[in-house]
Amino acid sequence: MTEPTRVPPEKLDEAQISGAGDMDPASFRAAAHATVDIMADYLEGIRERPVLPQVEPGSLAPLFASVAPEAPEPIGEILADYRRLIEPNVTHWQHPRFFAYFSSAASGPGIIGEMLTAALNANVMLWRTSPAGTELEQVVVDWFRQGLGLPEGFDGLLTDTASMSSLIALAAAREAAGTDAAAQGLPARTDVPKLRVYASAEAHSSIEKACMTLGLGRSALVRIPTDDQFRLRIDALERAIAEDRAAGYLPIALVGTVGTTSTTSVDPVAEMAEIARREGLWLHVDAAYAGAVALIPERRGPFAGWELADSIVTNPHKWFFAPVDASLLLTRRMPVLRNAFSLVPEYLRTLDQAGPVRDYNEYTPQLGRRFRALKLWIMLRYFGLEGMRHRIESHLAMAARFADWVDGDPDFERMAPTPFSTVCFRYRPASLAATQDEPAASERIDELNTRLMDAINKTGKAFVSHTRLHGRMVIRVAIGNLRTQDADLVSVWQLIRDEAAALTVAPPA
């Protein structure tokens, strides 16, 4: 490789020439203003971009220098390269027709919050290291608690993801069961039976991962079968717990999901709470996606019983319009979380502190913590709870409309109820309806839907994802992006039907 030519000094900032200190303030101001313009242009023009970049795996890394530059480069060129190399080659989560997975759209005020967070660079590990970060987190957690209609006994904290929140909850459940695993670990303990956690077959993989990470092992998670609406079956849960107790296992926790990942189904949380009480188990509720709906008092039906949970997770970075990352873990048992994670070496003690304070690192596996409350505080104030409710309602209405369109089309079939804003359906041309239960036809329908999803996504006009339900390939349209308008919904439905019509369907064998 030839040595890159050095940039002439007149093109560099003062700090780059002197080789000392940070970017100088005037250069920072100018570059940051230019960056805001780039951000605003990106968001303004996002609708015109293909949702999925039309790139092949491995094609991007070669566009970048293979070694870090020895010499400084002008910020203007770096930002130009950002526009040229990064923007066109990301999957556009901010796009109004991003309907895949669960939407995770970042709002303007949330983005502003991220900018300020980066400037402060406050590490919210101790009260001392970020007094406002700590106390604002307490305030914002309580704003959410009240907004979601949960009782005063709930406290909590912010983490990066629902996966981390659930891991913390299950670590607390492990302590609450009297294992003292935080101090003694679990391997080769003769005084602690093998532990068991119960969740439905539809529960998110993060629960299983938490069991892996916590040393319980994946086999500790008992997957309880679901009913015809993908909800955990209480009879099967009761039987599994009884059989496990008889076999010498120690049940420690139940995980109920309100809004499962595949279909957004809702487990019978109130009944699970009763079992948890009777059996002395920790109840964790995973409402990572659907929790936002509980901001609307009239729509709290599916959440009945979650106020009895020991812990609840919901993700502001999913349907609350916060930029990634932000997960909210609420719990009625903060001291147990602390038992699970508190470790205070000398260098973290604050020697001159008046009065007790909250040091959030004592409740989490990691020490360093981002100041996530700032963006949430800005965002909640900007929209107001009213504004949040209004936007969530509009997504629910869009999903109901989309479900109606699917139901009204003889060539399509809805594959699950739509309790929130995600519609699960498949293409099942009327010509194949009569034979759909025969294995050959069933496979053909699966294959058609795989091709259909691929065709939709290749157009770049929308991005949808899939799941499997009862072994069948199902397409999901998840609505939850602030920028999605009725016209986007109309156009994606048209796109789906056009692409389906263009598929060649082999006649029944």
Residue closer to ligand PLP by CB (options 102, 420) is 102
Q: Is 207 or 462 the residue whose CB approaches ligand PLP more closely?
A: 207
Closer CB to ligand PLP, 123 or 161, in the complex: 161
C-alpha 135: how far from its chain's center? 25
Q: Which tokens belong to 380? A: 């909640």
Does the footprint of ligand PLP cover residue 161 (CB under 6 A)?
yes
The residue range among 133-141, 155-163, 187-195, 220-228 that interacts with ligand PLP, by the rule CB under 6 A, is 155-163
- Residue 141 in contact with residue 134, Cβ under 8 Å? no
Q: Note whether 296 and 335 are within 8 A (CB).
A: no
Among the listed ranges 66-74, 157-165, 172-180, 425-433, the one in contact with ligand PLP (CB under 6 A) is 157-165
Residue number, 314 or 484, with CB nearest to ligand PLP: 314
Question: Is 327 among the residues that bind ligand PLP (CB under 6 A)?
Answer: yes
Question: Which x/- pattern over 286-325 shows residues binding ligand PLP (rule: CB under 6 A)?
Answer: x-xx-------------------------x----------
Q: How far is the CB of 325 from ligand PLP (least distance, A)?
A: 7
Burial of residue 377, with CB atoms counted within 10 A of its CB: 0-12 exposed, 13-18 middle, 19 or more buried: middle
Residues 229 and 419: beta-carbon distance below 8 Å: no
Asked if 418 interacts with ligand PLP (CB under 6 A), we say no
Q: How far is the CB of 262 from ligand PLP (least distance, A)?
A: 9
Among 130, 163, 311, 449, binds ligand PLP (CB under 6 A): 163
Q: Quick one: CA torsion of 316, 322, 325, 328, rounded to 10 degrees? A: -20
Asked if 162 and 286 touch (Cβ cutoff 8 Å), the reply is yes
Q: Strand, coil or helix: what is 155?
A: strand
Closest to ligand PLP by CB, 126 or 326: 326
Distance, CA of 345 to CA of 242 (rounded, Å): 42
Distance of closest approach, residue 464 Cβ to ligand PLP, in angstroms: 15
The answer to whether residue 162 forms part of the interface with ligand PLP (CB under 6 A) is yes
Which stretches does DSSP call E strand in 358-470? 412-414, 422-427, 465-469
Provide the terminal-to-terminal Cα distance of the chain, rounded to the nearest Å: 60
**What is the residue-wise DSSP string for 73-123?**
--HHHHHHHIIIIIGGGS--TTSTTB-SSS--PPPHHHHHHHHHHHHH---
- How near is the Cβ of 74 to ligand PLP at its closest, in Å? 37
Q: Is 361 in the site for ligand PLP (CB under 6 A)?
A: no
Residues contacting ligand PLP: total by CB under 6 A: 15
The one-letter amino acid at 113: G
Q: How far is the CB of 441 from ligand PLP (least distance, A)?
A: 31
**Binds ligand PLP (CB under 6 A): choice among 179, 261, 265, 422:** 261
Shortest Cβ distance from residue 323 to ligand PLP (Å)?
Answer: 13
- What residues contact residue 195 under an 8 Å CB cut-off, 6+ apart? 174, 177, 179, 186, 216, 220, 249, 250, 251, 252
How many residues are listed for the chain in this entry? 509
Q: Does residue 481 touch ligand PLP according to CB under 6 A?
A: no
The structure tokens 């900032």 sit at: 13
Least spacing, CB of residue 455 vs ligand PLP, in Å: 25
Query: Contact with ligand PLP (CB under 6 A): which of 204, 369, 370, 395?
Result: 204
Considering beta carbons, is residue 161 or 394 the nearer one to ligand PLP? 161
Rg of the Cα atoms in the chain: 25
φ, ψ for residue 67, nearest 5 deg:
-130, 155
State the sign of the Cα–Cα–Cα–Cα dihedral 78, 84, 88, 89: negative
Stretch that binds ligand PLP, among 21-29, 30-38, 284-292, 348-356 (CB under 6 A): 284-292
Site mask, ligand PLP, residues 93-132, x = CB under 6 A? ---------x------------------------------
Q: Is 257 in the site for ligand PLP (CB under 6 A)?
A: yes
Q: Interface residues with ligand PLP (CB under 6 A)?
A: 102, 161-163, 204, 206, 257, 259-261, 286, 288-289, 315, 327
